[in-house]
Structure 1
Amino acid sequence: MRFEEYINLSEFSHKKIQLSFGKFFICDHFVVAELNHEIHVDWSIIQKIANMIIEQYGYSKKIGFISNKVNSYSIDPYVWVTFSKEYDFIEAAAIVWYNDAGFMSATLEKMFLKNSVKLCETLDEAVLYILNS
């Protein structure tokens, strides 16, 4: 389910930001990312995401991050190692998967993230996890 279709969407004030590689929904305490189909996420894309988040929240606010894998895409898992060294604004993360390939990708990503990460089967599960972290 896309964030724009989320049944509890009206409970969250949010701002939608469209970048060339995906949509981002900026809420008060978390970001929902929906990356485009068949892109490859490398360090340059991660930097653009991080800069966009810092521009929205500032340098000191800790936030939650939800990767809503509604599309199939690839990611270099080592970017998370560098990300953890460069940036320190993610307090907790959730990855929502919708099929076996998404689950395998999410499991691999989780191994490289230093933050608390929960693999979720629904967007609602991810939002509740982030709000309670």
Structure 2
Amino acid sequence: MKFEESKNIIEFVHKKIQLPFGRFFICEDFVVAELNQEIHVDWLTIQKIAHMIIEQYGTSKKIGFISNKVNSYSIDPFVWVTFSKEYDFIESTAIIWYNNAGFMSATLEKMFLKNNVKLCESLEEAIHWVLSSEEIKN
């Protein structure tokens, strides 16, 4: 379920940012990312996302990142290795999957992410898990 179609849209103050490759919902302590259908996420795309997040939160705030895989797209999982070396503002990551292909992709991504990661079956589960992170609560 897309963030804009969920009941969560009214529960959290947010700002929507549309980039050429997806929509991002900036909430107080987390970001919900909904990438476009059939794109390929590479290092350049990840850098654009990271810079957009830094513009919104600064460099010292720890946040949660929710990848809401409402569309099918590919990602180079090795970008997460470089990301972990370059950036440290994401405390926890929730990846929401909706079908078998999404589950397999999320499982592969999880292997390369260095922060706390949880595979979720719903937006509500992902938001609850991200907000329960000790670093984000403080």
1:8 Cα deviation from its structure 2 partner: 2.6
Structure 1 runs, 4 residues or longer, greater than 3 Å off: none
Bigger shift: 14-23 or 3-12?
A: 3-12
Aligned-partner Cα distance in 1 for 2:113–2:8: 28
Counterpart mapping for 1:61-80 below 5 A: 61-80=61-80
> Residue 5 of structure 1 corresponds to which residue in structure 2?
5
What secondary structure does 1:105 align onto? helix
In 2, distance between residues paired with 1:102 and 1:75?
11
**Which SS does the other structure have where 1:18 is aligned?**
strand
Using the size of structure 2 for normalisation, the TM-score is 0.96
Unaligned runs of 5+ in 1: none
Give the paired residue count. Answer: 133
| Identity %, equivalent residues | 79
Distance 1:57 1:6 in 2: 24
Q: Does 1:50 align with 2:50?
A: yes
Structure 2 segments unaligned to the other structure (5+ residues) = 134-138
Normalising by structure 1, what TM-score? 0.99
What are the Cα deviations for residues 31-58 of structure 1, in whole angstroms up to 9, with x where unaligned? Answer: 0000000000000000000000000000
For residues 78-133 of structure 1, the C-alpha deviation after alignment (integer angstroms, 9 at most, x for no partner) is: 00000000000000010000000000000000000000000000011000001111
Counterpart of 2:128 in structure 1 is 128
Q: Which AA in structure 2 matches 1:76?
A: D
The reply on whether 1:35 has 2:17 as its aligned counterpart is no
Aligned position for 2:20: 20
